[in-house]
Amino acid sequence: MEAQVATGNIMEMSLTAVIAVLCIVIIVVYLKMQKQKKALKESQKRESSIDQKQDAMLESMTDDIYHLTQNLIESKEKELNSIESAILNSANNLRELLKIKANKVEVFNETFSFSHMLDDITTNMAPHFKDQETELVFQVDDNVPLSLTTDVVHLTRIINNIFEFSILSTPKGLVKFKAWTSGKDKSILNIEITDSSEGLDNDALHNIFDLSHDDATGAHIGLALYIAKELSSQMGGRLEAKSKIGHGNTFFVAVPMEPSANNDFKVDPDLYKRISRQKVLIYSERSATAASLKVLFHSYYREITIAEKKDIEKSKFNFAEYDLLILDTDYFDESSAAYLSLIKKSKTLHIVSASSIFSSSAVPAFECIDAHINVPLTREKTKALIYDLEGQEEEHAAEAFTSSYIGALAVYKSPIEETPAVSQSHFKDFSGARLLIVEDNLINQKILLGVLKDSGMAIEIANNGQEALDFLFKEKREYDIVLMDISMPVMDGETATKEIRAEKRFDDLPIVTFTAFAMGEEIDRMFLAGVNAYLTKPLNIKKLYTVFNVFLSNLDREEVVKDKKQVDGLDIEAGIAWADESEALYKETLKEFVDVYAETAESLPKLIEEKRMEQVKIVCREIQGILSFIGAYEMKEVVDEIQKQLIYNNEALMTDCKEKYPKVMHKLIGNIRHYVES
């Protein structure tokens, strides 16, 4: 019961975080776009047809996000993940479109794990296509290095958007992802995504990357692929498509990249020598999945057999002849589990259950099963599985555990245990502790802040490793613990941790890496860089409490007292609450508001004087909702009054509004600037 309550708390906090983030993303990016438009200038009296369609599309997308958010609030628990995924995908595409139109797309090249990127994409995509019967497989050539350098954020969005199109087009067919390198020094990453859908005719193919808006239905068309193509171009690459009725669709992506030195995919020769003669049987009802698994496991085992359903049903195969069985979850029941358990009593037999990432079926809970995998599988997860089955992981961890302390702090390389019966209120045990969260993902930031907002902890956020170093080295800020993400733009968590550990004065500062990947070389590198422990995503509050209890329990802490700030014309408390208790995000929004709308103190009265009421209406409609979010209620009353007089066409009272608007706006802008700089 307590676990259910804790889960419910997390979901409730996640919903709040998602909704708050969407509002922030839409408003902040929208404000940035307005800087470029100069909407009140004379030259924009006559908008082009394309601009009108794009404006309609943005309005439609905002409405879509609003309705998705409403659905999220009203939905049952089992529907939450799917709706959250749809909302975040819409918000991300909206953000990218606004950046493209405002010419604000920036390319940040960073080194990342290719397998982990694919895992990230499928993990985030899976809830959106829950129970879809699409078969998704990966085929990554051995010449693709384990780590490479390019813009991982843009590449992720490109692949995600193509997957979205292909999977929606192929509800019951096959979607295949292939990757390989080409060019001098393997400097080009090539990706091909094919599907077995009905395909497109020539006209549809010709317009596949075009951006349009259906006025009749209100639907935005081609947005995901338009963004994918634009981002490919910004990265210095290209995206092409081919299709034919009856033959499905094929997308080809080529982007420049830098392979990491000495980072080719290799199999441990000692491990291969020890296990290569073992016999493997793979059973999957999906032939492409079985073939893909065979390719992955063939790097370690010579003899691999694929069994078909009819052969399994006729008991054609003697499982006792094999050393490793990889079986669909549908195979397992009480009878089959008993049979497999009997075999395991007489010989060493590893049994792995497998299911699609889109499946919502429960993982079989039979004792005979040694491990479970979700397909499609990547090279890194295949390696981690085999090491785990062969007992290599413990040996590797013990070998790497050469230093059990950093300064006076212990290092915990094993998974963190849960503290039983933990709820959100228990984090008040750490009131007064100073926490730095180093995380680039806005959703993850908001979830953590949601969990800890009543804890009494002093929390600050750095959006990447470089910001964290600036806080510590330049601004001399002090913290009691750091939660450090691994993969971030500008500077990753590994580099930032090394820089921090290079300073002796930070030996007693615990650093806990917060990552989606609790396996393989990436975690090993973080421990070598100097972290004290790791937590896995999604957030587990019982493990988070354990980490805080280990590293913060002996601190002398003072209670954090939040000053109630008063600003004339601005409800600070309401604004910060809207930003989910993040004053930093609230201030960022206020800065953008000033940059975009300060000039309306002069331009709007001029528009009223010139009787250009359509332009007045546009400005008021833009600013009205934003004023509510930031807590500028006095200014909103003025704008509401202008809107009312526009409806009644009361020009006499508009004169009063013309005089009142600049007075109140100037006061608001001045007070905002003073508050932001304080």
Integer Cα distance of 130 and 8 in angstroms: 20
Reported as a single tens digit per residue, the pLDDT across 87-133 is: 445 545 655 665 676 677 888 887 777 888 898 788 778 878 888 99
Residue 251's pLDDT is what? 98
What Cα–Cα distance (Å) separates residue 15 from each residue in 81, 210, 450, 619?
10, 33, 10, 31
Structural contact between residues 366 and 333, judged by C-beta atoms closer than 8 angstroms:
no
Reported as a single tens digit per residue, the pLDDT across 252-283 is: 999 999 877 666 778 889 999 999 999 999 99
* Beta strand 258-259 pairing with 147-150: antiparallel
Which tokens hold the place of 354? 């497998």
- Name the residue type at position 648: Y
Q: What is the mean pLDDT of the chain?
A: 80
Residue 401's pLDDT is what? 34
User: What is the radius of gyration, based on Cα positions, of the chain?
Assistant: 28
Integer Cα distance of 643 and 619 in angstroms: 10
The superfamily in CATH containing domain 110-259 is Histidine kinase-like ATPase, C-terminal domain (3.30.565.10)
Reported as a single tens digit per residue, the pLDDT across 151-209 is: 888 898 899 999 999 999 999 999 999 999 998 888 999 999 999 999 999 999 999 99
Residue 255's pLDDT is what? 97
Could you tell me which residue, 442 or 655, shows the higher pLDDT?
Answer: 655
Mean local confidence (pLDDT), 419-445: 86
Split at pLDDT 50, 70, 90, the class of 290 is very high
Residue 89's pLDDT is what? 53
Residue 125's pLDDT is what? 83
Split at pLDDT 50, 70, 90, the class of 574 is confident
Could you tell me which residue, 97 or 288, shows the higher pLDDT?
Answer: 288
Q: Is the peptide bond before 662 cis (omega within 30 degrees of 0)?
A: no
Per DSSP, helices labelled H in 332-432 are 334-346, 379-389, 392-400
Q: For 467-482, give one letter per residue: b (16+ CB within 10 A) or e.
A: bbbebbeeeeeebbbb
Q: Given a cut of 50, is residue 235 above it in pLDDT?
A: yes
**Percent residues over pLDDT 90 in the chain:** 39
CATH class name, domain 269-390: alpha beta
Q: For 108-121, give one letter per residue: b (16+ CB within 10 A) or e.
A: ebbbbbbbbbbbbb
Could you tell me which residue, 390 or 263, shows the higher pLDDT?
Answer: 390
Could you tell me which residue, 450 or 376, shows the higher pLDDT?
Answer: 376
Reference 339, options 317, 306, 309; nearest CA is 317
The CATH number corresponding to 396-552 among 3.40.50.2300, 3.40.190.10, 3.40.50.300, 1.10.760.10 equals 3.40.50.2300
Q: Given a cut of 90, is residue 313 above it in pLDDT?
A: no
Residue 561's pLDDT is what? 46
Residue 471's pLDDT is what? 93
Structural contact between residues 599 and 39, judged by C-beta atoms closer than 8 angstroms:
no
**Percent residues over pLDDT 70 in the chain:** 76
Reported as a single tens digit per residue, the pLDDT across 44-71 is: 444 444 444 454 455 444 444 444 444 4
Split at pLDDT 50, 70, 90, the class of 10 is low
Residue 19's pLDDT is what? 61
Instruction: Output the CA torsion sign for 41, 45, 51, 55.
Output: positive
Residue 9's pLDDT is what? 55
Residue 21's pLDDT is what? 59
Residue 84's pLDDT is what? 42
Could you tell me which residue, 338 or 514, shows the higher pLDDT?
Answer: 338
Q: Given a cut of 70, is residue 675 above it in pLDDT?
A: yes
Cβ-based neighbour number of residue 366 at 10 Å:
16
Residue 381's pLDDT is what? 87
What Cα–Cα distance (Å) separates residue 348 from each residue in 301, 303, 324, 345, 521?
16, 17, 9, 8, 28
Split at pLDDT 50, 70, 90, the class of 473 is very high
Q: Given a cut of 90, is residue 448 above it in pLDDT?
A: no
- Among 531-540, 577-586, 647-656, the minimum mean pLDDT is found in 577-586
The continuous run of DSSP H or E covering 439 comes out as none
SS3 476: coil
Q: Given a cut of 80, is residue 669 above it in pLDDT?
A: yes
Mean local confidence (pLDDT), 495-500: 95
Reference 535, options 412, 446, 384, 374; nearest CA is 412
Residue 209's pLDDT is what? 92
Reference 589, options 453, 485, 442, 490; nearest CA is 442
- Among 164-178, 427-441, 469-483, 643-657, the minimum mean pLDDT is found in 643-657
Integer Cα distance of 672 and 567 in angstroms: 8
